[in-house]
């Protein structure tokens, strides 16, 4: 499914007409969740998106350092609280250019908001967020 989702996202991305050099950053999982699941579905999508776009994937720029509860049952305020201090940026991994954050679902935008704030706090400001699905 990753290839199909990436193709769908890439076709839409092209229609947006956003230009520039981007690095793809899939929303990271906490190491415990990754160990349990055995893969990060958005890394798989990011790899396929990379093949289509030519943008590199960077899974080391930002990592999830706080184990959070699943977001789907939480309100927007609860989601923001749940994600507080959940991500950490490794500025040594930033190579310049734009950052394209990929996520599977964006319900309230909380994950994107927290990641963007952390990137901006670390001086990285050219950020685009892109989700495969949203209820809006």
Whether 87 and 115 have beta carbons less than 8 Å apart is answered as yes
Q: What is the pLDDT of residue 73?
A: 79
Place of tokens 């209820």: 135
- Encoding tokens for residue 75? 């309100």
Q: How confident is the model at residue 47 (pLDDT cuts 50, 70, 90)?
A: very high
Domain count, the chain: 1
Identify whether 16 is part of a domain.
no
Question: Mean pLDDT in the chain?
Answer: 93
How much of the chain, in percent, has pLDDT values that exceed 70? 100
- Encoding tokens for residue 2? 């990753």
Give the domain range for residue 26: 2-11+21-133
CATH for 120:
3.40.50.2020
């Amino acid at each position: 499914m990753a290839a199909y989702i990436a193709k769908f996202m890439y076709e839409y991305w092209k229609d947006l007409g956003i230009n520039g050099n981007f690095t793809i950053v899939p929303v990271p999982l906490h190491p415990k969740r990754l160990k349990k699941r055995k893969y990060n579905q958005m890394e798989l999508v990011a790899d396929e998106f990379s093949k289509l776009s030519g943008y590199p994937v960077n899974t080391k720029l930002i990592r999830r350092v706080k184990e959070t509860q699943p977001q789907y049952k939480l309100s927007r305020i609860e989601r923001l609280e749940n994600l507080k201090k959940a991500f950490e940026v490794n500025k040594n991994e930033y190579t310049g250019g734009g950052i394209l954050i990929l996520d599977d679902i964006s319900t309230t935008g909380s994950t994107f908001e927290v990641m963007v704030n952390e990137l901006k706090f670390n001086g990285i400001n050219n950020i685009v967020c892109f989700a495969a699905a949203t209820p809006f």
